[in-house]
Structures are given as structure tokens and as C-alpha cells.
Structure 1
Amino acid sequence: MSPAILFAVVLAYFLILLLVAWRTSRHATNDSFFIGNKDSNWMLVAFGMVGTTLTGVTFISVPGAVGRDGFAYVQLMIGYVLGYLAITFILLPLYYRLRLTSIYRYLELRLGRRAYQSGAAFFILSRLLGATARLYLVVAILQATILDSLGVPFWLTASVVLLLILLYTYEGGVKTIVWTDTLQTACMLAGLVICTVFLLRELDLSVIDSLERMRAQGLARVFNADPDSPAYVWKHIVAGMFITIAMTGMDQEMMQKNISVRTLRDAQKNMLSLTVVLTGVLLLFLFLGGLLHLYAPVVNVTATGDKLFPAVVLGHFPAVVQLIFFIALISALFPSVDGALTALTSTFCIDLLGLQRRPELDAATQMRWRRRVHLGFAALFLLLIMLFKWMDSPSMIAVILKLASYTYGPLLGLFAFGLLSRRGVRDRWVPLVAIAGPLLCALIEQEQSLLFAHYRLGLELLILNGALVLAGLFLISLPAQKGGAHLSEQDY
């Protein structure tokens, strides 16, 4: 298909998002931007969060990794389900009971001001790196497949994509994103199903026959029983649970949408619905990955990893399916990036600038500050995208999970200390402890061959990071009556 036609379709898709944004952001306030006026429909939030959780990296990297790992991603998925249950019945009731706008406010109420700022700062770092890594992957695909042939440089592509995302999140924030994410998730899932059906027809296989063919070629293996392997089954299950708790339950972007729902009961229904739908969608991604690896040798495609899916689609699918693939790919990207940009703005304004605590600032002044911060984060996104282009990793999902292990570990340790103990902390030492955890993890990972012989750290690095921060907090802790906690007994 002509790159010019693909470009026109992508542009039309953006215009639809801008129309939705215009419709939903009229009369928007800071409350609309931060928590959607706490009036979001739980079914829309649940459906839209599927797209936010999956992202463009899942769309490309999970199918591409089947050739290397088989269906081992199922091990992580088991952990994901356990993590979502913990969020539903432990964290959400806490957030609603405290009526939080920013979930990191809990850390201030429980531990103190420095703990609060440390949690917010690590979230900002986590989301900046994670969202820009996801955005880079999809921008790189758009660049290679459409815009290189049109003579458009990579930096301009990234700038225009960011500008368009900025335009439809600039005013409405969460109020707009709840609707745009719903539209984008529907497009992504439609593309996933259509590509899967097309491959089954091209291979002339039924679902059962294709699974049998995958099993015969070693693509359907699930469980890894080698304890020394980074992909050992129990490592993945436990790590998957803590990844979900940290990257969803302790992540302002994900929880910002949940707490925009009016009641706790609806928020819990949202999370349970998300768990069921997400599990089914991830299984379909793995099945699609198996089909791609069966189909690639038939049409002599030698690409692997993140490059496999685009190579097969662009080289051997009809034009209409290519269009659907591109719309689905973009739809998989935007829910994670627009939500991250909005959540980062919210966290910086509420938790670090303290706009809601400054009565001397009227509503118009607060809105000006919020807009400036939004623009500033968009500029940071662009800089980091260019950094990831320079790195050029073959598998961005591995990069994202490694970044998450280092940046979400302190959040895991801070929340765990608050939830599992009644002790206070010497608040001024909390930032040092939060920084020390990732640094120690980096040292341990560097020297793991000396420390653990044949054992290799995998995704459990996140748990180790959180445990180190938790231990450090106990070292600087105080008895409960002297810790300065501001929560009543029933709030713990």
C-alpha cells in the first residue's frame, strides 16, 4: 500500500481523536483533568484500561517473543491475575477510604512528606522511561514503513505524534482519556482479531490444528522448570504478581482512572472485568504470535522479535489488512502514552508543586501551571524518544520490564512498609533509602555470577528492589506512637 495512503489514514484517525477530545473537554476544570470530576462510567474505564495495560509494545513484542520463549508469557499472566485481585480487594478500598486524588498522598498520611515526594518522584521517573520506550517502538515502525519513503526525518515524526497527543489531552485530561481509550481499545482488539483470522485462513488451519502445529514445533511450551533460569515458572508467577501490584496498583496513571469512578464497588467491578478481558486478550496475542511463526517460513520472512509482525503484515498481507494493522498499532500505543502524559502532569502538579494546597493560587493560575507542566513533559518525552532511538534495543518489552524493576521497586517498598507495619520513619532519610534500593540491585545484578553461581536474576529483581527498600525503612523506623503517622487505625 502507498505510504501516502497510510499516512492519510493515520491523520484521519488523529482527527477523530481530536473531535472526541473537543466534545469531552468543554467546560473542563482541573478536577476534570485530574480525576474526571469523579464521574467516569466504570464500564468505559474497564474497557479503556485494557488498551492502557497492553500498549503498543505488547502488540508487537509479545507475538514476536513466541519464537524465543514459546507461551512462557502465560507464567507471568498467572501472576498478573493474582496481582489484580490484590489491587481490587486491598489497595482500592484504601484509596477510596482516604478519598485520594493522588495515590501517593497515602504515603504522606502514613509516613511523612519526604516519603510522599519520594513516591511521586519515582512514579514520574518510571512513567517517563516506560511511556517513552513504548512510544519510541511505534514511532520507529511508522517511520520505517511510511515516513522514511516520504523523506520525513525521525525527530519530526516523533514531534508531530507528540503534538497530536498533546492536543487531545491538553484540556480534558482524564475526562477525555476515558473516552479516547475506549475508542482506541476497540480498534486495537478489532485489528488483533482480524489479523488472527487472516493468518488462520492463509495457513488453512483450524484453531485446534494450528495449536497442534505450534506444539510440534516447540512454540506452545508454557512452563520452565529450571530454577536457575530467569524464566523459571515460580519466578515468573511471583514476579508477575508484584509487577501488577507495583505497575498498576501503585501507579498513578492506572489508579487515576480507577479513582475517577464514583464508588468503590464500581471501581472493583472495573478491575475484575479488566482482569478477565485482559487475560483473554493476552492469550490471543500469544496465539497470534504462534501463527506468525508458522506463517513466516512459508513466505520466507526472516525477521524475528519486534520486527516479525510488521514484516509479515507489510510484505504479505493485502492492503486493507495493512490499514487495519496500522490503526490497531496506533490504537495500542496511544492509551498508554496519553494516560502517562496526563498522570505525570497530575502527579507533578499535585504532589511536587502542591497546587491544591496553595490557597493563594486561584483556579486560573493553577490551570496555567498545569498547562505549562503538561508542555514540559511533552518536551521530555521527545528527548527520551531520541535517546531510545540511539540505544536501538531489539526487544523493547525486555527493556521496559528491566526499567520497571529498578524504578517501581522503591514504590513497592514504600507502600509495603505502610501497609504491613504500624511503625513510623525518620522522614528525612526516606529519599536516601529509596535511592539506595535500586543502586544495591544494580550492584547485585552486576556481580550475580559471583554471588549466586549458576542462578540468574530475572523479573524477581523488582521484588528484591522492593525488599531492600522495605528493609531500609525498617532500619530508619520509629515506634508507631513516635512516627508521626496521620492515619487512624481503620485506615491502615
Structure 2
Amino acid sequence: MGRGARGGEEYFLGRRDLPWLVVLLSVVATETSTLTFLSIPGIAYGGSLAFLQIAVGYVLGRIAVAAWLLPAYHEGRLRTAYELLEARFGPETRRFTSAIFMVTRLLADSVRLFATAIPLTLVTGWPLVTSVLAIGALTFIYTFIGGIRAVVWVDASQMVLYLAGGLIALVVLGQAAPGGWPDILARAAEAGKLTVIDPALDFGRPYTLWAGLLGGAFLSMGSHGADQLIVQRLLACRDLAASRRALVGSGFAVLFQFTLFLFVGLGLWAWYDGAAFARSDEIFARFIVEALPAGVRGLLIACVFAAAMSTLSSSINALSSTTAYDFWARAGAAAGADERRILRVGKIAAAVWTVLLVAAAIGFIPQSEESAAVEVSLGIASLVYGGLLGGFALARFSRRATSGSVRLGIALGIASVACVWMFGRAAVAWPWFVLIGAAVTVAVGLFAGRRPRRS
């Protein structure tokens, strides 16, 4: 896939001719990590199907991004998401938001890399450090050689793999129940686990109708409209219409994916007869190791790594593209650099970011007993998406905001969510974080950007 790439744009954007269906699968695979693969069944195991309200919000958020952000990305033939902010607020804002993206990706995806090393350690008996190094090295090889084309096509194949794994688990669980899936669903209905809609207006509960539709929509707008990890794929499509099909279609694909793994969770609840587990993330992993026959067990373990490597490879490629375009190509003597030099710098950056991701994952090992990996990863992403989304909203719709006011707004938006995360999590659930951060960013950006009236 990487043959023939002679410049940075070909390496990072795949000549802008990638098929929209492959990009759709890559988008879903990129946002699906090992944490999702193992955690979503645990949500249904301990609760109900109410998480689907969040997934519906995801669809609505992607429709909004397709309507008001994607046209701007394609009109300017941009190479990174943050180039759009430069056109409105100047290079300082572009570098500021790109740096936020880099730090967020480094921290969040190093946690995902650490979480993936755990099952590899259980299977092989290797130390956690060795497992982290092995996964990081293997993912780096095809990402470094093939660029975005290799990443997208491998993502698509990996998504097919782990969806097949979920379907196989569904079949095995149905065959194990005395009355098959009708019996599982009947028992789940009696226990109230088939509830999908919760109309309660309670900001402290994460899976309500309002948290799902509003919070889920804003979270999706932040992750798919202001995060280079996803935007890079949409820029690699052939035109605006193809990008829109890939983005909106990925929302429905995620809805199907979540439904699949939530039903796996219902099957696990019936299998274990509702037994208590110390951590919900353990349930599906334990079922794979203890209950599945050889061969099928290996396939499901491969699915765990497929989900993780698709996210890790995307992070390496997105981080190196922002390094090359948002920083190096904008700096002094490098300004106006040709695409061949950008390609070389981007490949060097890919190696550096891989080392940093691996090092951060190894550094998380001593903290692993204190925090659930899924909570840490979601918390890191939720901290910044609101600020970034608010910055893009100001760029698109405000004439009042200035470069300084938008950077101040983003900083205070992130700070406000950090305060809620540290002191108010009991009263405000995580789906509301992006909405809060975006609202603060827009309000501060507008207020601080007002110019005094002339007398």
C-alpha cells in the first residue's frame, strides 16, 4: 500500500482517493480500542441496553459535523484539522490546538497500549514491559512503511476481524443457554436489562436520554470534527460527498457495533448467572480464556489485538502528520518545504512518537492497580474535546472572536472540565463534559473578543 508515496501528502492523505467505504470502516476501527471491545459487554452485564442512547447521539453528532465542518475542510484542501483554525485566527492558534491534540493522544493512547499488553502477558507469560514493546514495534512497522493507505486498509480488515469475533461469541453464548437466545432475552427482560430509553433528567447519570442525545452528540462532534485522528481519514476521501458518506455511515456502523457487544454482555450475564466481578472489563476476557475452545479462543484474542493496533497505528500516523505540517513545515527555514522533505520528517516523527507512546505505556504500569484504564482514557479525551470543538465553532460562526480570545476560551474550557472531573463527577456524568467545555470556550471567546465601541 505504501509503494509510490513520493511526498507528505501522498503518505499522510493517500493521494486523497481512498474509497469512502474503506474509510468508514477505518473510522470505526480507529475509535474502537481494546477498552471498547472488552468494556461494552461489561456495561450490559452490570446494567442494561441504555448505553445505546449514547450511540444514537453519536450519529446525530456526525451529521452535524458533516453539515458544518466537512465543507470547510474540503474547500481549502487542508492537510490537518488545525489548518482551518490558522485561516481564521493565525498560526499561533493552529500550533496551540495541535499541541493539545498531541498531548491528549500521547496520554490516552498510551493507556490503551498498556491495556492491550495485559491479555498478551496472560497468553504468553511475558512481562508487561515486553508485551508493550512487542505490540508497539509490530504496529510501527506497517504504519511507518505504508503511511495512511496501509493504516486505513489494515484498519478495515481489523474491524471485520473483531466484528466476526463478536458474532462468534454471540453464537457460542446462544448455544450454551438451554433455550438459546429466546431464553437469554426472556431472563434479561425479567431483570429489566432490555431497557433502552431512560427519560430521567439527572446530570449525574451517564446513560439517560438527554445525556445520550446531547452529551453523545457533542462528544461525537468533538472526536470526529476537531480531532486529527479522525479528520485525517475524512480528508483522504475523494471529495466532500465521499467524506460525508464515510462519516455519517460510521455512526450507524458504531450503533450496530455497540448493539452487538451489548448483547454479548447480556449473554455473559446469563452464562455467569449474574455473578459479581471485581471489574467489569474482566468479564468478556475471562469468558474468552476460560470458556471458548482452542482456535476460537485464539481468534477472539486476535480480535483484542486488532482493536488495539487499529487505534495505535492511527495515532502514530496522525501525530506524525501534525508534527510535520503544523510545526516543522511552518517553522522558519522549513516554511515552504517540498513534499519530499515533509515525508522524511513525518517518518522520523512516526518513530519518535512510537517511542514516546511505548514509554508512556510502560510508565502507566505502576499506576495500573489504582485506576481503571477505560476511565483514565475516556477522562483524558473528555477533558479537551469541548475546548477544541468550541474553538472550531468560533472559527466557523463568529466574527467577534480573536486569536487571543479563542486560545483563552479553549484553555478555560479545558480547565472547567478538569474542575468538574476532579470535584463534581458525582453530580455531572462524563457525557456532559464536552458540552460544558464547548459552552465555556464559546462564551469566553465571544466575551474576550469584543472590541470597545467607538464614542
TM-score by length of 1: 0.85
Q: Distance in 1 between matches of 2:129 and 2:156?
A: 29
Q: Please list, as runs of the form range in 1=range in 2, the aligned pairs for 1:57-76 lying within 5 A after superposition.
A: 57-76=35-54
Q: How far is the alpha carbon of 1:340 from its aligned partner?
A: 1.0
Which residue is 1:470 aligned to? Answer: 442
Task: Name the SS for the 1:262 alignment partner.
Answer: coil
Equivalent pairs counted in the alignment come to 450
CA contact 1:125–1:407 (8 Å) conserved in 2: no
Which residue is 2:120 aligned to? Answer: 142
Q: Distance in 1 between matches of 2:390 and 2:194?
A: 36
Which residue is 1:329 aligned to? Answer: 304
Task: Name the SS for the 2:236 alignment partner.
Answer: coil
CA contact 2:5–2:11 (8 Å) conserved in 1: no
Which residue is 1:486 aligned to? Answer: none
Task: Name the SS for the 1:164 alignment partner.
Answer: helix
Determine whether 1:287 maps to 2:259.
no
Determine whether 1:405 maps to 2:382.
yes
Determine whether 1:318 maps to 2:296.
no
Which residue is 1:354 aligned to? Answer: 329
Determine whether 1:113 maps to 2:91.
yes
Letter of the aligned partner of 1:181 in structure 2? D
2:272 to 296, 299, 302: 296
TM-score by length of 2: 0.91
Pair 362,249 (structure 1): closer, same or farther in 2 beyond 3 Å: closer
Which residue is 2:221 aligned to? Answer: 245
Q: Please list, as runs of the form range in 1=range in 2, the aligned pairs for 1:214-253 lying within 5 A after superposition.
A: 214-224=188-198, 225=200, 227-231=202-206, 232-253=208-229
Which residue is 2:132 aligned to? Answer: 158
1:343 to 318, 338, 349: 318
Letter of the aligned partner of 2:174 in structure 1? L
Which residue is 1:461 aligned to? Answer: 433
Q: How far is the alpha carbon of 1:386 from its aligned partner?
A: 2.0
Post-superposition CA distance 1:99-139 (Å, at most 9, x none): 11111111011122222112211111222222222222111
2:68 to 66, 81, 90: 90
Q: How far is the alpha carbon of 1:240 from its aligned partner?
A: 0.5
Pair 238,383 (structure 1): closer, same or farther in 2 beyond 3 Å: same
Q: Distance in 2 between matches of 1:319 and 1:394?
A: 32
Name which of structure 1's ranges 438-447 and 199-208 shifts more when overlaid on structure 2. 438-447
Determine whether 1:104 maps to 2:82.
yes
Post-superposition CA distance 1:419-453 (Å, at most 9, x none): 2322241x24644443232223333454449xxxx
Q: Distance in 2 between matches of 1:395 and 1:446?
A: 16
Which residue is 2:14 aligned to? Answer: 36
Task: Name the SS for the 1:261 alignment partner.
Answer: coil
Pair 228,465 (structure 1): closer, same or farther in 2 beyond 3 Å: closer
Q: Distance in 2 between matches of 1:200 and 1:303?
A: 25
2:233 to 254, 257, 262: 257
Structure 1 gap segments, 5+ residues each: 1-22, 481-492
CA contact 2:408–2:445 (8 Å) conserved in 1: no
Letter of the aligned partner of 1:98 in structure 2? G
Which residue is 1:13 aligned to? Answer: none
Q: Distance in 2 between matches of 1:135 and 1:187?
A: 19
Post-superposition CA distance 1:169-195 (Å, at most 9, x none): 113211211211111111111111111
Q: How far is the alpha carbon of 1:408 from its aligned partner?
A: 1.5
Task: Name the SS for the 2:315 alignment partner.
Answer: helix
Q: Distance in 2 between matches of 1:303 and 1:314?
A: 17
Structure 2 gap segments, 5+ residues each: none
CA contact 1:126–1:408 (8 Å) conserved in 2: no
Pair 163,455 (structure 1): closer, same or farther in 2 beyond 3 Å: closer
CA contact 1:410–1:434 (8 Å) conserved in 2: yes
